[in-house]
């Protein structure tokens, strides 16, 4: 695949199929890279937590707390997809241009993704006791996926800071 043929450059990441994303991620294309994969992991984390909340709500449909929680998780998942795509595009810009401003933009996006991870982590910690027991696996999956994103972006931020 040619470096300029990534579907992430031509359409919203949320419109890419999983297969398209995986194919280009595993290719020699400049983008996406691990940063975008981390953003996808965060979106999956929020979606897993959202699934746990949705199933829990079946037993308590009037719970305003759970309804609010579900909206927060949806926002995080949507934000994570946008940030994943932004990371991918900025990574390529940084590689191609070598411009310090491109590195700064990528670093800012990395920090924003880390903050989204921390926000999701707080939500997961603070609300675990509200989740139905049969959804514990989805909640744990959310934690593991969020931790993966955190690990990836902590390393990316560390690398960017060491280059500047």
Each residue of 7-26: pLDDT tens digit? 888 889 999 999 999 999 99
Domain definitions of the chain by residue range: 34-163
How high is the pLDDT of residue 3? 47
Q: Mean of the pLDDT values across residues 77-87? A: 97
Question: Residue 85: pLDDT above 90?
Answer: yes
The per-residue DSSP string of 59-128 comes to T-TT-HHHHHHHHHHHHHHHHHHHHHHHHHHHHHHHHHH--HHHHHHHHHHHHHHHHHHHHHHHHHHHHG
pTM greater than 0.85 (yes/no): yes
Q: Which CATH architecture has domain 34-163?
A: Up-down Bundle (1.20)
Q: Mean of the pLDDT values across residues 93-114? A: 95
Distance between CA atoms of residues 19 and 61, nearest Å: 35
Digit-coded pLDDT (tens) for 36-49: 999 999 999 999 99
CA dihedral 21, 52, 116, 79 (to 10 degrees): 50
């Amino acid at each position: 695949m040619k470096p300029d043929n990534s579907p992430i450059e031509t359409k919203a990441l949320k419109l890419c199929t999983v297969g398209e994303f995986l194919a280009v991620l595993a290719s020699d294309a400049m983008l996406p890279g691990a940063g975008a994969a981390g953003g996808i992991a965060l979106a999956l984390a929020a979606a897993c937590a959202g699934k746990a909340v949705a199933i829990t709500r079946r037993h308590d449909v009037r719970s305003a707390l759970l309804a609010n929680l579900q909206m927060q998780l949806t926002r995080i998942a949507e934000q994570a997809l946008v940030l994943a795509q932004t990371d991918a595009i900025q990574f390529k810009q940084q590689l191609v241009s070598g411009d310090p401003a491109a590195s700064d933009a990528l670093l800012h996006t990395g920090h924003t993704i880390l903050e989204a991870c921390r926000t999701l982590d707080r939500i997961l910690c603070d609300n675990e006791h509200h989740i139905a027991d049969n959804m514990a696996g989805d909640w744990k999956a959310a934690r593991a996926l969020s931790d993966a994103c955190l690990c990836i972006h902590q390393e990316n931020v560390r690398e960017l800071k060491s280059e500047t």
